[in-house]
Structure 1
Amino acid sequence: MTFLFGPKLDDTSTQFRLWAPSAGAVEVLFPEGPPLALKKDDAGFWFGRADNRGPGTRYKFRTDALEFPDPASRQQEGGTTGWSVVCAPFEPSGRREPLRPWHETILCEVHVGTVSPEGTFAGLTERLEHFRDAGFTALEIMPINEFPGNRNWGYDGTLIFAPDSAYGPREDLRRLVDRAHDLGLCLILDVVYNHFGKFNNFIERYAPEWFDEGVETPWGKGIDFTQDMVRQFYYENACMWLEEFDFDGLRFDSVHEMKTEARDVFLSDLAKSCRAVKSDAKLIIENMDNIASWLDREQNQPKDFTAQWNDDIHHVLHYLATGDGKNGYSDGSRNPIADLEKGLADGFVHDGEAEGESDGTTRGEPASRLPPDAFVSYMQNHDQIGNRADSKRLPDRVSAEKLDFLHLSIMLAPQIPLFFMGEEAHLRTPFPFFIDLPEDAAEPMRADRCRQMRESFGEDVEDGALPDPNGPHTFESAKLNWGDYGNPDRRAALDRFRILAEWRRARLWPLVATPCLDARSGRQGTAIVVSWIFEAGTLSMALNPSDLPADIACIITASPLSTGEFSQQDEVLRLGAWSAVVW
């Protein structure tokens, strides 16, 4: 791809470029020496060349009285208001494909700032062997783009080409990816293309064309994807992570919040741009609208996106395990056992049951035509933990037998499993929302967070009742305590997790490497049995997500793996409370 944004280097000079169609004049500022006046082309780009300004050059842009960093800055000095730094691109690895095929993916979602005591790329690099040895084959890294301050979930970024300096230099990020590949781990990066953070977002002040005044998102004005250069900006960003940093894939945050016209053009071309770099790039979307067509296959290969985070399976399993009646289960009218059966067999629970706009419980298009690996299943992720008022993980809320049931159900169904860092050992570290802003900016964010918890997540909280998101102690509470892995109960849980991961490798991978021909299911009372039929053979799972035993007509036909109690009585399978069997 020909890059239009960011500095362009040659042997003796650097060309600076900024898209600002309505600006009257633009200059490049340097810490020393005169500014460089830029010229404007017909596409709205301002450009100019500076001699003897190579890698390491610090610069900003200025239009009128506004000084601001390059929105395509590859490195920042001094945070989101500081100097942008000219960087020579890394040499591409030459790999045109991800390290592993998609069907071999066992995901762990990781936040760089809290996964290690150091909270850096180097700190995570030193702990990669733990994740490999636990059974994971890929890490999904929460957003690392430059954000205000030193603490953030990552979704408030304003400079999306620059790895955040709080995590270490960009060279350490490339070393992290290279070391992961040495260990057989893929890395997938979470990127945010639906909004910019509210704080230090200079773009709306010098390039209002970037936004559509008539479209509102939870974070403000919507990105205007009808603008060719706006779309190009994000294509370039995606390609940079895949090529220059050698990530194996990307996860695209909340694509349902992309609401301007040309959204579909953007998403389609975004996938094409990524696949031009790595044809089998692991491209994951978060999409509350459950639009199955984005996940369609051609000759058993993804046409656009590889898979979608599947909230549906989380919601029904979460309700069954906790009794927490949110996410469509508040009125008691739904049958959660039937929903779990449908989610396991088809992927989505809510997939075209109603016409017109989604109301949050019925959505999208039929999903039964999709293979199981078009869905990423999970019981915990950053949202499901951090968007609770208490930020507690499941081990603080459900029994060990339920946790083992949930792990087996997620790990050994043929959908792609995802776990949140520490979940492999039932760690209890909370993951509250945290930021690092000046106090005058933090105060409205505190109030907004309480409002969001009430209105968006159904949490009954009063203003001021949440952990202070701007407090360093809140961030520190989210850091994994690696000493907890030495606890006997945590070690035992990790051992059980490894057994599940090994069973998936040995028994599922040969099946899911071939096309899925059908999924057949049945239920009796609280018992469910699902069989997925692949070209290479059949995978079956029987489950009883209930406090009481249940019987179902079913015969185990191969050596099984199980959690909880079960017994075969002629053609009847008796499942104990919170038991599951897979064969």
Structure 2
Amino acid sequence: MSAVQRRWGAWRNEQGTWTFSLWAPAATSVELLLEGQPLPMQPAGDGWFQLERIAEAGMFYRYRIDGDLTIPDPASRCQPEGLFGPSVLVDHAHRWENPQWRGRPWREAVVYEVHVGAAGGTYAALERQLPRLAALGITALELMPLASFPGRRNWGYDGVLHYAPAACYGRPEELKSLIDRAHGLGMMVLLDVVYNHFGPDGNPMPAIAPPFFRHDIRTPWGDAVDFREPAVQRYFIDNALMWLRDYRFDGLRLDAVHAIQPRGFLQTLRGEITRELGGRHVHLVLENEDNQASLLAGGYTAQWNDDFHNALHVLLTGEDEGYYGDHADDATARLCRVLGEGFSWQGECNRAGRHRGEPSGALPPEQFVVFAQNHDQIGNRALGERLLSLAGDGRTALAMALTALTPMIPLFFLGEPWGETAPFLFFTDHRPPLDEAVREGRRAEFAHFRSFQDETLRARIPDPNAVETFERSSVAWPADDDAGARQWLELFRRLLQVRADHLVAEGPVRPLGATAIAPGAIRAGWQLGGGQWWLAFNAGELPVAIQLPRGREVFRLGADADGLVPPCGFVAVHVEAA
């Protein structure tokens, strides 16, 4: 077996045969069970087993390890019966309706984050919503993780079979249809992928490949994945290439890369993607608690900017527990730093005594993804409340305006465009006894919060495993006669039109500085290719006077009372280039 063939899974060869390949260094023997027929696989060195066999797409198969343990393919492309069922051979040949699509520049991204199950339940249901999303001005759909997970309800971060899209949402060809339809409407599609851990149930790797993990580094999910191993690197590199090439996703959002060691793997991954798909716009976005500006300077497209959310949330709600405590000392100043320099934390020591972040002021604004809400920030609350329930209409509208009208890349969460108030809760579908462990672990997680120190109050936290928890988190597109939703949609559409008219210009963008005018009130500006962009807002309790450079006012929230910006007021001004 040559080095270039050391890849995971089953793939079709030009001659019509299929190659089956598995890395199982703990195994003495491996059999392919193809439609129930046992076929011995041949050792190929370094823990790999391989077999070439005549087969057809749609056939069922499994692997049997040492005559005893039967598992699905860890790189299965399809699991129609779920995580514990047989794998199915998939030929990724597909007739695309938009084969000419090459993506869009990142500066044009307006991202809408969606959980497929909570947005209608299936790929097909979400596809039917795409024309309305495109009409609002959404240019990028971001799907929460799709890797096969236990049960039928899950956020997706418990994925185990990373190559197989969750069957509860539909067939692989229906996922391709969703992406193809989005491309036809001018929308990119991004996928959230989880390369830092496997879910807690159904993972065959510890049994067949103990070297897949390292015991000297622990993560919140257990032993760390060992990215020093070539076979481990290949597993995740080929997975990324599959989503980008075979499904034609336009980019990936890499979950919690601060848990990936050594960090050099991230550059290896980016390099291989660039080499394979260099003729397209492919965007690689990070979630990184460590605020490593060097990864962005080194070629990654952007990072989710939690600092923007956390400082803004403290301003709007006054909350100061948990990670909000790192922004509660002076949320106005911290949000100023975000608007002017990218990250709030750039190497300083936080409350936990840990140095966090790297200097980010030299990075362009488009390398920061900003949001007032997302799945984490809502769903990791005990009761899953959205900002509208916590801060009211005025402050939520202000947050929406600020998110949309900075030159950073805006992200909005499922239902946010129409002012959805249904909670987004943490939900799972685990088997006993894991279901009880997750339920109790969820409640224990909030025991140190003031609101849940009483055991009776903690009992109010929804059971993640209950189907009602998922159902409460599911949202539908609002009815046409929903006047409240229409008002939010009109505001949202207007904001995105202003953004498209003024903030998606060619050329570099650089900050001109952000200044605190009063507690909760900020003025910020940017140099654009075609002039300057200035905004001011007031999240404080009293009206404030904020002077902006002379230019054309293109957006305003709140009435102007004698030159004062009222509480929950917002104004944006465009200054034409001389």
CA-CA distance at 1:346 after TM superposition = 1.0
Question: Which residue pairs with 2:308 in the alignment?
Answer: 313
The letter of the residue matching 2:524 is V
Deviation at 1:429, TM superposition (A): 1.6
Q: Secondary structure at the match of 1:509?
A: coil
For 1:402-432, what per-residue CA distance to the aligned partner results, in whole angstroms no more than 9, with x for missing partners? 1111111110011100010110011112111
Alignment of 1:464-503 (within 5 A): 464-483=459-478, 486-503=481-498
What's the offset of the Cα at 1:551?
2.0
Q: Spell out the pairing of 1:149-168 with structure 2 (5 A cutoff).
A: 149-168=151-170
Checking the alignment, whether the CA contact within 8 Å between 1:517 and 1:535 is kept in structure 2 is no
Q: Establish whether residue 559 from structure 1 lines up as the match of residue 572 from structure 2.
A: no
Amino acid at match of 2:536: A
What does 1:25-104 correspond to in 2, within 5 Å? 25-33=29-37, 35-51=38-54, 53-64=55-66, 65-91=68-94, 98-104=102-108
Match of 2:424 in 1: 431
Partner of 1:292: 293
Q: Is 1:207 the counterpart of 2:209 in the alignment?
A: yes
* Partner Cα distance (1:390, 1:485) in 2: 29
Instruction: Check 1:272–1:59 CA distance in 2 against 1; reply closer, same or farther (3 A cut).
Output: same
Contact 2:42/2:50, CA 8 A, preserved across alignment: yes
CA contact (8 A) 1:327 1:361 kept: no
Matching of residue 242 in structure 1 with residue 244 in structure 2:
yes
Residue segments in structure 1 that go unaligned for 5+ positions in a row: 297-302
Instruction: Give the match for residue 20 of structure 2.
Output: 16
Moved more, 329-338 or 486-495: 329-338
Structure 1 match to 2:270:
271
* Among candidates 566, 577, 582, match of residue 572 of structure 2: 582
Q: Distance in 1 between matches of 2:414 and 2:454?
A: 27
Q: Is the 8 A contact 1:427 1:484 kept in 2?
A: no
The amino acid that maps onto 1:158 is V
Matches within 5 A, 1:71-470: 71-91=74-94, 98-116=102-120, 119-258=121-260, 260=261, 263-279=262-278, 280-296=281-297, 303-330=298-325, 334-354=329-349, 359=352, 363-454=356-447, 460=453, 462=455, 464-470=459-465
Deviations 1:521-548 (A, max 9, x none): 3222233211111333211111212011
Aligned partner letter, 2:532: T
Q: CA RMSD in A?
A: 2.3
Using the alignment, how far apart are the partners of 1:391 and 1:503 within structure 2? 31
Report the Cα distance in structure 2 between the residues aligned to 1:168 and 1:331, rounded to whole angstroms: 42
Mapped partners of 2:412, 2:142: distance in 1? 10
Shift of 1:362: 5.2
Name the counterpart of 1:299. none
Distance 1:276 1:350, change over 3 A: same
Q: Deviations over 1:328-365 (max 9, x none)?
A: 554887211111111111111111224xx994885110
* Distance in structure 2 (CA, Å) of the matches to 1:96 and 1:226: 38
Kindly indicate whether the alpha-carbon contact (under 8 Å) linking 2:26 and 2:207 is maintained by their aligned counterparts in 1: no
Distance in 2, Cα, partners of 1:41 & 1:350: 49
The one-letter amino acid of 1:582's match is A
Shift of 1:143: 0.5
Which amino acid is the alignment partner of residue 500 of structure 2?
R
Give the equivalent residue in structure 1 for 2:576.
none
Question: Corresponding residue for 1:534?
Answer: 528
Cα separation, 1, equivalents of 2:385 and 2:429? 22
Query: How many Å apart are 1:568 and its aligned residue?
Result: 7.0
Measure the CA separation in 2 of the matches of 1:485 and 1:237. Answer: 41
- The letter of the residue matching 1:68 is I
TM-superposed deviation, 1:560: 3.0
Q: Tell me the TM-score normalised to structure 2 length.
A: 0.92
Equivalent position amino acid for 1:378 in 2 = F
Contact persistence 2:314–2:327 (CA under 8 A): no
Aligned partners of 1:467 and 1:474 also within 8 Å: yes
Query: Counterpart amino acid of 1:176?
Result: L
Amino acid at match of 1:162: A
C-alpha separation in 2, matches of 1:174 and 1:419: 23
Contact 1:287 1:309 in 2 (8 A): yes
Code of the aligned partner of 2:236: Y
Counterpart-to-counterpart distance in 1, 2:41 and 2:171: 29
Give, as a single letter, the amino acid of the residue that structure 2 aligns with 1:107: V
* CA distance 1:325–1:560, change in 2 (3 Å): same
- Mapping of residues 516-527 of structure 1, within 5 Å: 516-526=509-519, 527=521
Distance 1:410 1:361, change over 3 A: farther
For 1:331 and 1:180, the matched residues in 2 are separated by 39
Q: Which residue identity lines up with residue 541 of structure 2 in the other structure?
A: D
Is residue 422–residue 480 contact of structure 1 (8 Å, CA) maintained in 2? Answer: yes
Decide whether the 8 Å contact of 1:350 with 1:361 is kept in 2: no
CA deviations 1:489-547 (Å, max 9, x no partner) are 1111110110000000011112xx31124432322223321111133321111121201
CA distance in 1, matches of 2:448, 2:196: 20
In 1: Cα distance, 2:351 partner to 2:49 partner: 42
Counterpart AA for 1:285: L
Shift of 1:306: 0.5
2:284 partner letter: L
Query: Which is further off, 331-340 or 131-140?
Result: 331-340
| Structure 1 position 392, deviation (Å) | 1.2
Could you tell me whether the CA contact under 8 Å between 1:98 and 1:282 is conserved in 2? no
> What is the CA distance between 1:89 and its match in structure 2?
1.9
Aligned partners of 1:3 and 1:236 also within 8 Å: no
Post-superposition Cα deviations, 1:89-119, rounded to whole Å, max 9, x if no partner, equal 2349696974211111111100000101xx0
- 1:533 counterpart SS class: strand
The alpha-carbon distance between structure 1 residues 450 and 185, as it changes in their structure 2 partners (threshold 3 A), is same
164-173 vs 325-334, greater mean Cα deviation: 325-334
Task: Give the secondary-structure state (helix, strand or coil) at the position aligned to 1:481.
Answer: coil
Task: Answer whether contact 1:98 1:278 (CA < 8 A) is retained.
Answer: no
Bigger shift: residues 269-278 or 180-189: 269-278
* 1:101-154 Cα distance to aligned partner (Å, 9 max, x none): 1111111100000101xx011111111112112221111100111111111110
Give the direction of change, closer, same or farther, for the CA distance of 1:286–1:491 in structure 2 (3 Å limit).
same
Which residues of structure 2 form unaligned runs of 5+? 574-578
Taking the aligned partners of 1:193 and 1:147, their CA distance within structure 2 comes to 14
8 Å contact kept, 2:119–2:474 = yes
* CA displacement at 1:311 relative to structure 2: 0.5
Determine the structure 1 residue equivalent to 2:7: 4
1:319–1:326 CA contact under 8 A, matched in 2: no
Does the 8 A contact of 2:553 with 2:571 survive in 1?
Answer: no
Q: Report the Cα distance in structure 2 between the residues aligned to 1:92 and 1:236, rounded to whole angstroms.
A: 22
Distance 1:163 1:566 in 2: 51
Give the count of matched residue pairs.
562
Deviation at 1:326, TM superposition (A): 2.9
Q: In the TM superposition, what is the alpha-carbon distance from 1:458 to its structure 2 partner? A: 9.4
Query: For 2:385, what is the secondary structure of its paired residue?
Result: coil
Instruction: Write the deviation string for residues 3-39 of structure 1: whole angstroms up to 9, x where unpaired.
Output: 7111122334222110012211111113433x11112
- Distance (whole Å) between structure 2 residues aligned to residue 419 and residue 55 of structure 1: 38
Cα separation, 2, equivalents of 1:226 and 1:456: 39
Q: How far is the alpha carbon of 1:81 from its aligned partner?
A: 1.2
Alpha carbons of structure 1 residues 531 and 69: separation in structure 2 relative to 1, 3 Å: same
